[in-house]
Structure 1
Amino acid sequence: MKIKAFGYTVAAICVLIAARAEATYGEESFVRFLVEEPLEEPLSPLGLQLEQQFGQQFSQQPELTEITNILIVEYDDGIDLLLEAPGGRLLAPFTAIDGNAFVADFDNTVLSLSTGENFWLESPATGVERIEVTQINPQQVQVRIVGSEVPPSTAISIDSQQLTISATGFSIGSESDRETAGESPADSADSDADSPLRLIVTAEKRPDEVQDVPISLTAFSAEEIEDDDITFLEEIAGSTPNFTAYTPGRNFLLYSIRGLSNLNFLSRDSAAFYIDDVPYDYTGFLDLDLSDLDQIEVLRGPQSTLYGRNAIAGVVNITTRKPTNEPEYRVSSSLGNFISPDIRASASGPIIEDNLFYRLSGDFKQREGFLINTDTGDDIDFESGGSGRAQLLWEPSDNWNLLLNASFNRYRDGTPPISRPDLGQDPSETDANTVGFNNLDTNAQSLSVNYENPSLRFTSITARRFSGQAFENDSDGTILDQFAQVVDIDSSTISQELRLQSAAEDGPFLWLVGAYFEDRDFNVNQDGLRLGVDAGGPSLSGASSILDEETYAVFGQASYRPIDPVTLTAGLRYEIFNTRWKIPPC
């Protein structure tokens, strides 16, 4: 049997009302490193009086404050911008985020530097592209601190004659990328302690603040994941609207977004699942023990114009920590009842400083079962297994980076804790005659190539993934040798995604175009019942089948901001998929 179909998706135009973010400020005193004398003839205070027809004064503007000196203090992880105003106190500015720039507008202020010019400084720190201090009108001074890829994290402090803006730049907004730039999580936490909480997401394939993304999404940062000890997808469902997750067995994950689930066996999932930009398929093959994570995003609604694999319901997007330029070692362990150790560890650092980096991570978890088989005396619902990941990041130049990622999962579990106790029998005991098992083996490899210049960004993601699952359990749950369910399936997938998009700081017009190819072989080696002697056996009934699927897709999205804060967005997707389902003769 051969099934062939094609389809397309048109994304609706949406209007984004962007939010303004304000930096907090507080009282602090700073050491003055340099003082310049004010101008011999400072500007006279300007007053503006509006007279009504009755001759009554309507308002009077306060005296202007002069900024007479600007000082930059550089640190390993950022800068302090000091604005000195000996003649009076600077008022708290109006702040906003404009693309990759933090903007602070000072009203009733003039720039009176000894040079008589505006202030401009290029690349003062890692992740900070430039600093501008300009007189944008006769009574207003604007400070712009432009990040290399995302807005810098900022904090504002004011004393009697000086205002300080502390800025920390990121290569991209996640914790792991701050580490790649040479900043450890602890240093980042210290530098951000007085700054407003800002969560950077990549839902639209570019770093944006979560409140500026016109998508219904919920994001969890590395700090939240670590603080809440999130290791299963179920643990975020309670904090995510219109998202549910359920695991009937450790190696079997069901989740739904707005009522559309991934419960598909031989068809496409409505809700896509990504780990490090690599799509994962089939509910029985998903990695459940989540470790060494940087961010989790749950995107609700169609995402077909931004992601390679079609996603009608939404996307679960998981990002792991990346290799760092500074040595980093993490170990955590826990022990629970039923003798259940949980050990997680990771190591990261440079192989060649500022050029080649590595990261290794892994976890192991084990638990005894609580359902005892009285026929054998063993517990049947035990768990044992773990996963590992190795990453190699190469940055040959400022424009190029290549990330090689390899991972595996290996679980050797028992059967689900289901029993059919007789009257008066302990419900934690069963008489099943079949010693079942639930085994899962997966491995994945991917190569991500990224190029960026001031005008555009190119991304190529090549991935291969193999998954195999085999399980057997006693279907009747009795000591009689009647029925046992037997399943043996495996899947092999090769995918290639290409994206070309405008750079994050490209201005009012942003665009993205992409292409996607996937070749998937899904083999059902056995799916049926094994009949025992008490059911007229022995015999094995069931079906075997082979599913071959090829997918070709092109997609794109464009956004235009005619006026701030309005953004118009349109997208298009065209996809062709060929499916061949083969059923071998009995």
Structure 2
Amino acid sequence: MQFRARLHGACAPASLVLSLLLAGTAHASDNAAAAPAADGAAAEGQAPVQAAPALDEGIVVTARRRVETVQTVPLAVTVVGGPHIDATGAFNVGRLTQLTPTLQFYSSNPRNTSVNIRGLGAPLGLTNDGIEQGVGVYIDDVYYSRAASSTFDFLDVSRIEVLRGPQGTLFGKNTTAGALNITSRAPTFEPEARAEVSVGNMGFVQAKAAVSGPLSDTLALRVAGSFTRRDGSIYNVAQGQWVNSQDNKGGRVQLLWRPNGGVEFTLSGDYNQQDPNCCAMVYVRTGTTQRPLNRQYAALAAAAGYAVPSTNPFDRVTDEDVALRAHNVTGGVSLRGKIETGLGTVTTITAWRFWDWNPSNDRDYLGLPITVRSNNPSHQDQWTQELRLTGESGRFNYTVGAFGFYQKIHTSGVQEQGAAASKFLLNPSNPALYNDPSVLNGLTATNDISLKNTSAAIYAKFGYKLTSKLSIQPGVRINYDKKDGVYNSVVNDGAGNLLTVRPDNTAREKAQLGVLAPQYFVANFSDWNFSGDVTLAYDISPVVHTYATYARSFKSGGINLNGVPADANGNALTQLATVKPERVNHYEVGIKTQFWDRKGTFNLAAFRTEIGDYQAQVSNYAVGALRGYLANADKVRTQGVEVDFSLRPSERFSLYSNAAYTDAKYVRFTNAPCAPELSGGATSPGSCDISGQALPGVSKWSFSYGAEANLPVSFLGGSEDQVYLGFDGNYRSRFSSNPTPSAYTWIEGYALSNFRLGLRRQGRFDIYGWVRNAFDTHYFDQLAVASGNTGLIVGMVGDPRTYGFTLRGQF
């Protein structure tokens, strides 16, 4: 078929050559520099173009708001340097998960995005403006409140620190599961420039550039931009085009003012835009539910005379009949100042950010006009202010800070049913309604949703050396959260008549209200909480460091702004409009070691996190507008062991391997939604006890690994040129892709392998060919239960094999 040839056979001569290219790189934590720069970041500007794999003693991190080395900082942190990000093609958070086994990223579209660490962070696949993220995303000290921002390309990144476990005593916004601390390359007073161009199959083109230099003795400017475009990976036969494409562009400008060695201010502005033809899911399978057979997918499709274009999801075809759009824009301005005082470093960060989301979706995932519009455009503004002091005196060090956050979100959405909705959504036992397309055709719900979110906190982290080897590090946080939300959904029939719930509704109106029902409620949440942690760190030797941590943390309560269930009279059950805060108890021990004259690194961390009142997704598998809401599960627990290993016996060879065992489950959840196979019948239970079952999205076993070898060559008179051959890969075991584990939505384990072969001159240029998913492994990123509980299971298929060339230069 045309579309299969395009994916697997286009550019045949290039494919034959490039498929033989082996590429890769070494791991995470690049050997950026042995000494910190003045702004607390690694002196990455002088780093070689290639990635260096070893977790070296000199890798600098600022995870605890002070300059430390990754091996001595007493917490579980993975550092991924800019060169390694570039070399592996990990240009966004989704790709970053292939390098960090404990990081999970799921996105059916930018708005429906979850970033989790150790299985915790946000409910999988739930769009709800009224909830908090458990994993904080910070770029240059600025908190990004929307997970949609994590779908953009990394822009001129120096390094990324993935911090695991609660971080609320060190960061402005409370982060109960962990944090992504992303540091951009800073303006320099020495002129420099970077440029990179990549081309590949599927129309892939990516360009990145950055230039930096002085404007005066006290002013420096840095300008960076990126552009990514790729054709879609799924062919839509209904519209004759490829969908799930990539179309990203972004830019950042930074102005650094450094009047003297003790004062500096950085003014930054950025703008990022995505316009992909996205996001489609494909037919995966059907499963039997407890609905009557004539109301399950096979019978409904047969009655409509419909068949999907392929029952093999890896044919990568769909026939979704609604034009797709995922217009996503984010940007903002920040001013960060650092002032050296007699007490320490005072840092102030003032920021405003915005987010615009304008989608178009096909929520029935089929080539039938069942749901013809399902769009929820949204606009957000957020303002943050953080002030902190970091210093030390003798054996004592400290970080104290204050943080303020204000957010306004407005969402105006619409859902409209089409001509095929009656046959697909209504009961055939009432032929007068079932056979009348006008009953549901044009039925429309118009939603108006708003949220005002205020948060304020003071936090502190202290450290005291009890002896030359033993230190204690307590931390505290006092937090206040307030949320005010309004949900308003108005429903009109196809003739424009307003629908309301009344005792005397006609049979026709009852059928319509069973699909889309009006609802209005106002909900408020506010709460204070106190949290804290304490860490004991003991240095057995200069290369062996141990630590033990206990943390008590909270994740703010929330508001259900997707709507809530209604009673028999159509009244909103407003007691379900708010969810309680999560209560977190976290325990962790770890050891960080180096051996063989620091050529090898072996780190081990073991953890256990218990959460009371866990904010879990609940779905009633309704055919209408309620796609899910939040409720509190009694208790959840995640525990596991993580291992990081790297070895660099010489400049010519390096390897790494990271492993994570994560056992995450509902300890007690007795009123959970039932799996689709147990739902839909007249006698089906209203809820199920899923205590002891697995949390969604978490593999028990996950690994990342890689190696690189190089040989010196003389090329164009260069004495430092290298030819290199590398590999990096990752594996994850099976995991559940539904809030309640279902036999139909387990994603089987898979391994991805990437290769790379190239020529480089350190600090000057790098040219290489790459193959990603080299063995064309078939895998799913996500599976989902289609609305209505008809037994239809749809999925997001992972990328096929891709290949191309990259040319990168540094001047």
Is the shorter-chain TM-score for this pair beyond 0.5, marking a shared fold?
yes
Relative distance call for 1:425 and 1:258 in structure 2 (3 A) is closer
Q: Give the distance between the partners of 1:559 and 1:216, measured in 2 at CA.
A: 17
2:368 to 472, 476, 480: 480
Equivalent residues of 1:284, 1:469 under 8 A apart: no
Relative distance call for 1:233 and 1:432 in structure 2 (3 A) is closer
Equivalent residues of 2:379, 2:410 under 8 A apart: yes
Partner of 1:582: 486
Relative distance call for 1:302 and 1:373 in structure 2 (3 A) is closer
Q: Give the distance between the partners of 2:231 and 2:389, measured in 1 at CA.
A: 50
User: Pairwise mapping of residues 153-552 of structure 1 onto structure 2 (< 5 A)?
Assistant: 170-172=37-39, 174-175=41-42, 177=43, 179=45, 184-185=46-47, 198-249=58-109, 253-263=113-123, 265=128, 266-353=130-217, 355-420=218-283, 422=308, 427-453=315-341, 455-484=343-372, 485-503=374-392, 506-526=393-413, 528-535=414-421, 536-552=440-456
Q: Give the distance between the partners of 1:193 and 1:312, measured in 2 at CA.
A: 29
Q: Give the distance between the partners of 2:36 and 2:370, measured in 1 at CA.
A: 66
Q: CA deviation at 1:424?
A: 6.0
CA RMSD of aligned residues (A): 2.9
Equivalent residues of 2:121, 2:176 under 8 A apart: no
Q: Give the distance between the partners of 1:204 and 1:330, measured in 2 at CA.
A: 29
Q: Give the distance between the partners of 2:53 and 2:79, measured in 1 at CA.
A: 20
Equivalent residues of 2:66, 2:390 under 8 A apart: no
Equivalent residues of 2:152, 2:272 under 8 A apart: no
Q: CA deviation at 1:252?
A: 5.1
Equivalent residues of 2:453, 2:481 under 8 A apart: yes
Q: CA deviation at 1:530?
A: 1.7
Partner of 1:31: none
Relative distance call for 1:481 and 1:287 in structure 2 (3 A) is closer
Partner of 1:572: 476
SS in 2 for 1:227: helix
Counterpart residue identity of residue 261, structure 2: D
**1:231-252 Cα deviation digits (max 9, x unpaired):** 1223333443532223334675
Q: CA deviation at 1:364?
A: 0.8
Q: Give the distance between the partners of 1:281 and 1:498, measured in 2 at CA.
A: 18
Q: CA deviation at 1:507?
A: 2.5
> Which moved further from structure 2: 559-568 or 424-433?
424-433
SS in 2 for 1:286: helix
Using the aligned pairs only, state the percent identity: 26
SS in 1 for 2:466: strand
Structure 2: segments with no counterpart, 5+ residues: 1-31, 284-306, 422-439, 491-811
Equivalent residues of 1:328, 1:349 under 8 A apart: yes
Q: Give the distance between the partners of 1:253 and 1:409, measured in 2 at CA.
A: 17
> Which moved further from structure 2: 452-461 or 279-288?
279-288
Structure 1: segments with no counterpart, 5+ residues: 1-151, 155-167
Relative distance call for 1:316 and 1:425 in structure 2 (3 A) is closer
Relative distance call for 1:464 and 1:169 in structure 2 (3 A) is closer
Equivalent residues of 1:252, 1:285 under 8 A apart: no
Relative distance call for 1:259 and 1:431 in structure 2 (3 A) is closer
Q: CA deviation at 1:560?
A: 0.4
Q: CA deviation at 1:198?
A: 1.2
Relative distance call for 1:517 and 1:172 in structure 2 (3 A) is closer
SS in 1 for 2:449: strand
Q: Give the distance between the partners of 2:136 and 2:56, measured in 1 at CA.
A: 32
- Within the alignment, does 1:558 sit opposite 2:462 as a pair? yes
Greater fraction strand: 1
Equivalent residues of 1:544, 1:583 under 8 A apart: yes
Q: Give the distance between the partners of 1:169 and 1:519, measured in 2 at CA.
A: 33
**1:191-235 Cα deviation digits (max 9, x unpaired):** x99996510100110000111111111112233333333212233
Equivalent residues of 1:218, 1:297 under 8 A apart: yes
TM-score, normalised to structure 2, is 0.48
Counterpart residue identity of residue 534, structure 1: A
Give the structure with higher Rg (CA).
1
Equivalent residues of 2:57, 2:71 under 8 A apart: no
Structure possessing the higher relative contact order (Cα contacts under 8 Å, 6 or more residues apart): 2
Q: Give the distance between the partners of 1:153 and 1:482, measured in 2 at CA.
A: 58
TM-score, normalised to structure 1, is 0.65
Equivalent residues of 1:219, 1:295 under 8 A apart: yes
Q: CA deviation at 1:153?
A: 7.0
Equivalent residues of 2:110, 2:326 under 8 A apart: no
Equivalent residues of 1:262, 1:282 under 8 A apart: no
Q: CA deviation at 1:308?
A: 0.7
**1:22-72 Cα deviation digits (max 9, x unpaired):** xxxxxxxxxxxxxxxxxxxxxxxxxxxxxxxxxxxxxxxxxxxxxxxxxxx
**1:238-297 Cα deviation digits (max 9, x unpaired):** 443532223334675422112212346211111111111111123234343113110101
> Which moved further from structure 2: 311-320 or 421-430?
421-430
Equivalent residues of 1:285, 1:468 under 8 A apart: no
Relative distance call for 1:309 and 1:558 in structure 2 (3 A) is same
Q: Give the distance between the partners of 1:250 and 1:302, measured in 2 at CA.
A: 25
Counterpart residue identity of residue 470, structure 1: N
Q: How many residues align?
A: 411
Relative distance call for 1:454 and 1:194 in structure 2 (3 A) is farther
Equivalent residues of 2:93, 2:151 under 8 A apart: no
Q: CA deviation at 1:367?
A: 1.4
Equivalent residues of 1:251, 1:287 under 8 A apart: no
Equivalent residues of 2:57, 2:70 under 8 A apart: no
Counterpart residue identity of residue 288, structure 1: F
